[in-house]
Every structure is written in C-alpha cells, then in structure tokens.
Chains A and B, each alone.
Chain A
Amino acid sequence: MTEVFLQAVVALLSPATLMFLIGGVLIGLVFGVIPGLGGTTALALLLPLTFGMEVVHAFAMAGGIMGAVAMGGSISAILLNAPGTAPSAATCLDGYPLAKQGRAAYAIGAVASASPLGGLFGVLTLLLVLPVAKEVVLLFGPPEFFLVAVFGIVTVAVSSSRNLLRGLIAGGIGLMLSFVGYDTVNGGVRFSFGSEFLWDGIPLIPALVGLFGMAEMLRLSIAGGSVATDVSNVNLSGVGSGIRATLKHWRVVIRGSIIGTLIGAVPGVGGTVATFVAYSTTKKADRDPDSFGSGRIEGVVAPESANNAKDSGALLPTLAFGIPGSAEMVVFLGILMLHGMQPGPAIFAEHQQDIYGLILALTLGAFFASIIGLIFVRWLAAITLVNGQILAPVVIAVSFVGVYAINQTPGDIVVAAALGVVGYLMLRFDYPRLPLVIALILGETAERGFQQSMMIGKGDWGIFLHSATSLILVGLIVLSIGWSLVPLLRQRGTADETGAEK
C-alpha cells in the first residue's frame, strides 16, 4: 500500500500533472467566485475535455477544481454576501458581517487556512476509512436518512435561538416549498399548478442566490453606502491574523472537519447541510452564541473546515458504491466512467494508484487555492469599498446570467428574483433565512426516508428506533432540542424569582 501511495505522489508531482492541477485550481476559483456557477458546472464543462487526457491528469484537474471551488465560493460569500457555491452560504453568516466591519481580509485569511486544514483532515479520514468503507455506508437506510434530515433541520432551527419560533416557522415554510414538484416515492406532481418548470421542484442554486445574494444587494441598494460600513476602517492586511485565528480555534477546525466528513459521506444530504450543521454546532457549543451572526471568526472557521472535508466524505459512497454523495460527485462519476473505471468496492484494488492520486490532488488543490486566493486577497477585499449603488446592480445582473447558465431556463431567473424579495423581507422583519434554506434542501430526503421507512415498517413508527445508528440520531435530535430549551427555561426561572421577590 505504501509503495502504491508513493507512486501516486511521484505521479502527481510531475510538472505536467502539477500544471493540470493548477489549471483546475484557477478554473475552480473563478467558477467558485461567480454566484450560480460552482464546482458542478466546472466539472460538467471539464467532462468532455478529459476524454483525451491521461487518468492522472484528469483526476489532478478534477481534484484541483473541487479543492478550489470552496475557497472561491467563500470569497464572494464574505465580500458580497452572495455565496458563489451553495455550501459557502453558511460562511455568509459571520463572514459578511466581518467584511462590513472592514475585516474582509481577516475573514479570508481564516478561510484560506481552515479550508485546506479541513480538506487535509477529510483526506486522512478517508484514507483510514477506505478499508471499511462498505460497512460505514451500509449503516444508513431510509429511517437513518429521515433522521439525518430531521437532525439537520432541527439543529439549524434551534440554533437561531434569538428567535426560536420564527426559526421553526421559516423551517416549516422551507419544508413546504421543498415538496413542490415530482413526488419521488408515490409518483405524481404536486403544487406545480400546470407549470412544467416546477416539476423538478424549486431549483436550489437560484433559490440560494436569491435568498442570500440578491436579498443582500437589495438591502444595500435601498440602504445606500458600501458593503464595509466604515470605509476608513477597511483593513486589507489582516490575512495573518485570520490564519492565526484558525490555528487558535483548532477545536472548531476539528469539529467542523468531523461533521463535514461524516455528513459528506451520507449520499443525498450534501455539503450545504454539512456547513450549516458545522456552523450551528459551533454556535451552540460557544459560551456566547448570541454574538454569532455579528462577525465571529469561529462562524467562518467552522463551515469552511466542513466545506473542504465534505469532499473527501462524499468520495466514499461515490467510489465504493457509485452512489454520489453530492451534485459534484454525480458529474465526477461521469469522469470515472469515461475513463473506464467502474465504481464499487473493487475499484480500490484495481485502480489504487489513481484513487490515491485523486485524494492527493484534492488536498493539494485546496492548498494551492489558498495560496492563489491569498495573493489576490488585497484586490478582492477592495470590492467591499465599492459604492453599493454601483455594486448591487452589477452583482444582480451577473447573478441573473449565472443562475440562467445552470439549466438554461428563464424560470430560474424568476425563482432567484422572487426569493431575493422574500429573503429581503425576511431580513427586514427579522425572520432567519437559514432554517428555510436547510429545510428546502433536506425536505425531499426527509420525505423519501419517511415514506420508505413507513413502507418497510408497514406503518410502524418503531422502525425509527430499530438500529444503533437510528438511536444515536434520535438521541442527538432530543439533545439539540433540550439544549436550546435550557436557556429559555433558565430565563423564565429568573423572571419568576424576580417576580416573587417583588
């Protein structure tokens, strides 16, 4: 095994392969920065080009793209509150407030260090888990998928503890919207009102671009000014502090990486859930959770470490079973097959060197992306100084084109604009957007898991407690709700005591 691993290292470090890797990193950064594009589009465009390439070159380029997209997506999330990729949406929550305080470079420094560290952690875990991959993936059946989805929604809804009720309402509306379109279990189309466009449901990327990017740009154009509220205070030299902050919060990095790897490995759940759960868990574990959302660096470090770790996790079911762990992996599966590699447990024995090469390319890709991103950080951070009356229309126009480019459907523009207005109203009337997004993503998984479990259990709800994995997940859900109720009960207790004293 060591010999094959070293051969993979030598193959990857050859000048030609490194060139493909760096090429992939540059493409990944550009596709990551522009809202609406992202890794799936980049890999899809690369797919036909890899046909004539050697496997190692194709994997180096794909690894470079996957490793760099996260960094690119987070740069626009921090600077514009417009996540370049869906998983980067969680980075907006504290990254953008930091940019508004003039500390964009500090946040980008944290991203540049947390991303590769998370990626490295994910890769090391993947190398350790590969021999027992089959057993790990088989732990999840329909009841476990349902419980993972419920856990994701509950964790995010209760983490908006400042307004728990409104968090739950937003989650409920997100769930309701997620049921629009084709019912994958029972067949039939729901809530489409005759529109063929809605058969596939509410498209995710346009929804995210609308709820986060457009909503924020609307706010900016209405309120006036620039992204950084105190222009005189914009600090373009805080990168070093950002890196030091990541190292200081090493526990947050490890926690985020574990969450990213684990959730990334669950097919269909995806990276967006991983980053939001990493954010929520870090917020809940903090002594001052209320300060999250106002520019806490841990709120950037946690999702970023999960963001890159999730790629290694998602590789696990893709390679072991041909079940893609994310949208990017669906396209990557195409690259594998194009090169005559059949996913399944045998792939590790038949193409060991190529698989190691891919894993190493992912890690190196994240490191190169950080270095290249840091070189340009000063210029990128200057975006926060641009007048909002100019920046907002430009971002909205590019976002319109970006969301259209995904499926070449004009309806996607309508969805982005409509949810942009909804997102703005949620900002205005203090409804958290996070639970809506997470429920929109997880609704289908939750429903499918629920319906299939009911069929397997013949209507018996005990199916959700039949395995150790289910029991652990139920325990985590109960713990999440209980944890969020403790401060509320304490508050009530203090109020009662004060009342009694009076």
Chain B
Amino acid sequence: MIAWPSLAMLLFVLAYLASALLTLDGATRIVPLMAGAVTLMLLLIDIVRSAATQDAVMPVPPRRELIAVAYIAAAVISIQFFGFWLTIPIYLFTSIAWLGKQAFRTALSVSVLTSLFIYLLFEVLLGYNLYPGLLLELW
C-alpha cells in the first residue's frame, strides 16, 4: 500500500506538471517541466522502494497532531479576519490553558506579557502598523 505522504506528493507533482502543460507555453515551461519530470521519476522509485521495505516513522498520537495543526490553521484564519490584536492573546491563552493543560494564571500572564512585548517591539519601537484584520479594515 502507498503511504499517504508519497501519494500526496505524487498528486502534487502530477497537478504541477498538468498545470505547466496546460497553462504555460514555450520557454516558460521548459525548466519547471524538467524539474517536475525528474521529481516524478524519483517519487515513483521511492514508492516502489517503500512498498518493499517498511520505513520507520515518528510515533505520535494522531488526535493531538490534528488538534495542533487545526489550532495553527484557526489562528491564521482568525488573523486574516480579526487581525493580530484579538487573535494573538486568545490564541496564546487557549493554546496554553486548554491545549497545553497549564494553569489558568500561567496562561493568562504569558498571553498578556507576550502580547505586550509584541506591541512594544513592533508597534512602539519599530513603528509597524500590525494587521487589523479584514473586518476591522472594512469597518
């Protein structure tokens, strides 16, 4: 059976090659096609080789893994809509208190102090205007 990361990469490379063939023309697609074709060949060799041998993979609890990735994805989406100043403290607090199972007081103090550090360094000292989020921009 093909391992899912190999299958995902195979699909990515095939989609890339199809996109190069269908959307690009002439000289612009030569080098991407060369790189894609070589990678496809190497991937197929790896898939055949992996089918014959059993690769060792890092043992991890899949549920915990999915939650951690979902948390990052939620933070990214939240930054796009609500900006940094709402997302960062909430992300920090919930990650530490709920996901990390740390004490409520620790989570609160770390999220407040980190947000303050970010504000002082980036907004006050460096003069950046951190992203307010799509909703605030529209409003």
Contact = CB atoms under 8 A, between A and B. Distances in A.
Interface of A: 34, 45, 165-166, 168-169, 172-173, 175-176, 179, 183, 185-188, 190-191, 214, 218, 221-223, 387, 389-390, 392-394, 396-398, 400-401, 404-405, 408, 410, 413-414, 417, 420-421, 424-425, 427-431, 443, 446-447, 450-451
A410 B28 contact: no
Given A176-B13, A389-B102, A429 B3 contact: yes
B33 to A, nearest CB: 10
Chain A interface, >50% SS class = helix
A151 B103 CA distance: 51
A395 B88 CA distance: 11
Contact of A397 (B16, B27, B118): B118
Contacts of B26: 186
Contact of B57 (A396, A414, A428, A446): A428
B57 A175 contact: no
B86 interface: no
B104 to A, nearest CB: 13
A417 B60 contact: no
A191 B33 CA distance: 12
B3 to A, nearest CB: 7
Interface of B: 3, 5, 9, 12-13, 16, 19-20, 23-24, 26-32, 35-36, 38-39, 42-43, 45-46, 49, 55-58, 60-61, 64-65, 68-69, 72-73, 75-76, 79-80, 84, 88, 91-92, 95-96, 99-102, 106, 110, 114, 117-118, 121-122, 126, 128-131
28 contacts: A34-B121, A165-B46, A173-B13, A175-B39, A176-B13, A186-B28, A188-B24, A190-B32, A191-B32, A218-B68, A222-B61, A222-B64, A222-B65, A389-B96, A390-B102, A397-B88, A398-B117, A400-B84, A408-B128, A413-B80, A414-B76, A421-B72, A425-B5, A428-B60, A429-B55, A430-B57, A430-B58, A451-B27
A90 B138 CA distance: 42
A397 B90 CA distance: 11
A169 B110 contact: no
A357 to B, nearest CB: 28
Nearest to B83: A410
Contact of A176 (B16, B29, B57, B91): B16
Contacts of B46: 165-166, 169
A221 B126 contact: no
B43 to A, nearest CB: 6
A176 B18 CA distance: 13
A394 B76 contact: no
A188 B76 CA distance: 30
Given A169-B9, A397-B92, A186 B60 contact: no
A189 to B, nearest CB: 9
Nearest to B72: A417
A31 to B, nearest CB: 9
Q: Taking each of B32, B55, B80, which has the highest tally of chain A beta carbons within 10 Å of its own beta carbon?
A: B32
A110 B47 CA distance: 41
Nearest to A386: B110
A183 B61 CA distance: 43
A423 to B, nearest CB: 12
Contacts of B80: 410, 413-414
B1 to A, nearest CB: 15
A486 B108 CA distance: 57
B57 A429 contact: yes
